[in-house]
Amino acid sequence: MQNYKMILEYEGTRYNGWQRQGNTDNTIQGILERKLGEISGEAVEINGSGRTDAGVHAAGQCASFRLETELNCDFIKNELNKRLNRDIRILRVEQAHPRFHARLNAKAKTYVYRICTADKAPVFTRHFTYLYPCKIDIEAVGRAADMLVGEHDFRAFTSNHRTKKSTVRTIYSIDTEYSDDILTIRFTGNGFLYNMVRIISGSLLMVGTGEMNTEDIALALNSQDRKKAGVTLPSSGLMLEKVYY
């Protein structure tokens, strides 16, 4: 039994997210498992570092899988790339420690949310930029972002707010940048709740437009009430950039 670690990128536009859904699905995991099955002749389970929702992109998703028969890493990479559409690309396959698991061992992740505030999205990044024409106060966005950094109970910032599991997470950094009408919000944290990045991005965008202020964000955080936070932005602007182990 050989364990493998794989790094890949994909444009999520045409897919129903990462997680396999039955046999006739259109998910990244499902497609990868089918193709890897063709190559290896084995029934393979591929574990991602986490699910990405329908429409979410990844520049550095990580996944792990085991094969009964050891195959060369570059062979796996090349054979998968040949069989996959142009919107999924395997960047690297390497042998991993027998106990390595892409989800269970993930220490931290970086996500990026991109918003275009001009009247039309840039042509060359239109498929992974959310268009929201408006004027932004980037300093206000930065102040509100700073306030969310650290260990907090982010229950107000998840769609799954009735969960009984802990909703405490640590955000190590939220970097905000605004140039050429593109607001880029980059989150690094030890884990993110369901829709957390999209809801925080929506809340920060509302701070940028003046619909919310830093005080509102603080109140939302303390309230643990989803209704106090901002809107959930669409999946199209979200990208999983990197997973740390």
What are the Cα distances from residue 89, in Å, to 10, 12, 49, 159? 6, 12, 16, 30
Q: Does 9 bind its own copies (CB under 8 A)?
A: yes
Which of 53, 87, 137, 241 is close enough to bind its own copies by CB under 8 A?
87
Question: Closest CB to its own copies among 17 and 142?
Answer: 17
Element spanning 143, H or E: helix 138-148
Q: Is 53 a catalytic residue?
A: yes
Which of 24, 43, 99, 124 is close enough to bind its own copies by CB under 8 A?
124
Which of 22, 23, 69, 123 is close enough to bind its own copies by CB under 8 A?
123
Q: Does 191 bind its own copies (CB under 8 A)?
A: no
Residue 20: half-sphere exposure toward Cβ, Cα within 13 Å: 13
Strand 108-116 relative to strand 130-131, pairing: parallel
Q: Does 132 bind its own copies (CB under 8 A)?
A: no
Which of 128, 130, 132, 154 is close enough to bind its own copies by CB under 8 A?
128
Q: What does the DSSP assignment read for 78-115?
A: HHHHHHS-TTEEEEEEEEE-TT--TTTT--EEEEEEEE
Residue 58: half-sphere exposure toward Cβ, Cα within 13 Å: 27
Q: Does 126 bind its own copies (CB under 8 A)?
A: yes
Interacting residues toward its own copies by CB under 8 A:
9-11, 57, 59, 77-78, 81, 86-90, 119-126, 128
